């Protein structure tokens, strides 16, 4: 059995205040290679909060998150940032592309932050990623010149920039129409089936969740279900 890429051990997140709010309650789970996972639950149940903890965008109040077997809670922030850059890619509901940059430069940003490639190699890889996602004819355009579905494909390309093994997506189809939603979902599925990535996606769309391999269901911050989805298409 493959070692987990991400492991949560009794993770809890509490927002302090006069009346503290518990976002995530004592959740333990493991995420392995080549998994296609849906995180589901009612609005406000803690789905996105859990995703941000798994992706080191937030720190738990108690418990720990391990990446590749390494505990991240005691890491320096610079080390956590490097783990995020090299091991994790992020796609959000609202793509968060920078409007002052071309889409090529948006995809280049994580590679520039990591600093392992030359500027020429960075631009070449950014264009290759955009081409692979059907945007090869748009590389010089700014985000506002693209449709919503195209912008989300740019966001996927940016998430893949440093070739991380795990893609974490927060409602990646939530702001798209049905056609663009299906296209983006198919891209995420092919990242698993063709490229061997692990994709973990928060989604409110149970029809999409039913096409994934595994469902993690959250209610009131608690893990209430973690099971394989029998109807999911097999990953080959």
* CATH assignment at residue 38: 3.40.50.300
Residue 74 maps to a domain:
no
Count of structural domains within the chain: 1
Residue 129 maps to a domain:
yes
pLDDT score at 172: 86
Residue 50 maps to a domain:
no
Residue 54 maps to a domain:
no
**For residue 203, what are its two tokens?**
């989604």
Torsion of CA 129, 232, 42, 64, to 10 degrees: -70
Residue partners of 168: CB distance under 8 A and separation at least 6: 51, 54, 55, 88, 89, 90, 91, 200, 201
Side by side, which strands form the sheet with 6-15?
21-31, 6-15, 62-67, 70-71
State pTM to two decimals.
0.92
pLDDT score at 219: 95
Averaged confidence pLDDT in the chain: 91
Helix segments in 10-118, DSSP class H: 47-54, 77-87, 103-114
pLDDT score at 183: 87
Cα(197)–Cα(134) distance, integer angstroms: 19
Residue 69 maps to a domain:
no
Portion of the chain with pLDDT greater than 70, in percent: 97
Residue 22 maps to a domain:
no
Tens digit of each residue's pLDDT (9 = 90 or more) over 62-119 = 999 999 999 998 999 999 999 999 999 999 877 789 999 999 999 999 999 999 999 9
Tens digit of each residue's pLDDT (9 = 90 or more) over 154-192 = 999 999 999 999 999 998 887 777 888 888 889 999 999
């Amino acid at each position: 059995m493959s070692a987990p890429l991400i492991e949560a051990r009794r993770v809890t997140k509490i927002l302090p205040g006069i009346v503290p709010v518990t976002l995530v309650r004592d959740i333990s789970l493991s995420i392995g290679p080549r998994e296609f996972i849906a995180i589901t639950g009612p609005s406000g149940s803690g789905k996105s909060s859990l995703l941000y903890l798994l992706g080191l965008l937030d720190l738990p109040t108690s418990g720990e998150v391990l990446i590749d077997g390494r505990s991240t809670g005691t890491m320096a922030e610079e080390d956590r940032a490097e783990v995020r850059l090299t091991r994790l890619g992020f796609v959000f509901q609202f793509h968060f592309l920078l409007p002052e940059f071309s889409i090529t430069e948006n995809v280049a940003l994580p590679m520039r932050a990591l600093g392992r490639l030359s500027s020429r190699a960075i631009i070449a890889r950014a264009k290759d990623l955009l081409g692979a996602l059907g945007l090869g004819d748009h590389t010089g355009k700014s985000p506002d010149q693209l449709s919503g579905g195209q912008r989300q494909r740019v966001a996927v390309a940016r998430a893949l920039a440093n070739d991380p093994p795990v893609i974490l997506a927060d409602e990646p189809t939530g702001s798209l129409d049905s056609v663009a939603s299906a296209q983006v979902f198919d891209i995420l599925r092919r990242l698993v089936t063709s490229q061997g990535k692990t994709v973990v996606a928060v989604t409110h769309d149970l029809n999409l969740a039913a096409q994934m391999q595994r469902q993690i269901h959250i209610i009131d911050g608690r893990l209430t279900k973690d099971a394989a989805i029998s109807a999911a298409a097999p990953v080959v």
